[in-house]
Amino acid sequence: MTAVDILTPTGHVLLPAGSKLTSRHIRMLNARGVDDVAIACASRDRQPAPSPGPADIEEIHGRITQRFQHNDSSHPFVSELMRLCESRLLNRE
């Protein structure tokens, strides 16, 4: 979200404060010579996601195992990649 109004040099509002930036907005601002904008992080207002339970962990582990079923999970690279995928999914869900 934009933290402040984005104005033209003459003071006309291109995008009001609190607007969600979309790719269309960014293209429009770029075409008007706007190189940077102040943004506000919306995540401060959100409640933290609940910790995944045992069922969630098992489900994600199953998804990752299925995704990597044709790989050698004993290989250090594959093992680490699987661990990272599980970690990212557990932190996101």
Confidence of residue 44 (pLDDT cuts 50, 70, 90): low
How far apart CA 1 and CA 81 sit, in angstroms, is 33
Question: Which carries the bigger pLDDT value, residue 51 or residue 65?
Answer: 65
**pTM of the predicted model as reported, rounded to 2 decimal places:** 0.47
For the chain, which residues make up each domain, given as ranges? Answer: 6-45, 54-92
Q: How confident is the model at residue 70 (pLDDT cuts 50, 70, 90)?
A: very high
Question: Minimal CA–CA distance to 57: which of 24, 87, 33?
Answer: 87
Mean pLDDT, range 3-20, rounded to an integer: 83
Radius of gyration from C-alpha coordinates of the chain = 21
Report how far apart, in Å, the C-alpha atoms of 28 and of each of 12, 33, 86, 88 are: 14, 9, 38, 33
